[in-house]
Structure 1
């Protein structure tokens, strides 16, 4: 069976999560940072996660400490987060093309109407598997 990892895009207001394997994404979601440990516990139970992928951006070290304190046996891999937000925004618009008058505006000038931190986590997982 493929290894399932949990990629996390840590943030101050919300965190993006993505459970993924070499074959692709199993599930992705967004939750508040206060629910980090709870979401991690659920992923461990549901998918057998033994590796957590974190972006190297703001707050990464704080989240690493929090995860290590709660789950000392988990492996933590840190992945370069450079331009993941831009890539996630592009992916959001590919998966959710603008409708109505919004389709007349270039997507590069638009901000998605909903958070896409989970897509950042998906990209972190993809980078992790691509660099193995």
Structure 2
């Protein structure tokens, strides 16, 4: 029986393996970010790229606030050139994290997206922090 799932055949296993292995270079999940953020040096800067009101209402503990439209080189000058950024927005229905990733990559900065965003974070049962962001220079 043919349906929307079976109408297009799956990729050969070797192609599927290469595709899914490569996806880890572009994204990470909420669980892995949570685990890494428990250490003194997670190895990345976590950026919440939503608006200031959303950030104040609740954000991932330890995240910095920098709206995706405000990502410019001068805002990153205190971070070494090879700093990895992990970006997130509201959740899977929001493309703000992808927009932030485009801007960071365009600046030559390493970046990964946390696709679940705040929605995924909450779904995992992780706590949020509240409060306004510090003013960026």
Q: Which has the larger radius of gyration?
A: 2
TM-score, with length taken from structure 2: 0.40
**Structure whose residues are more often helix by fraction:** 1
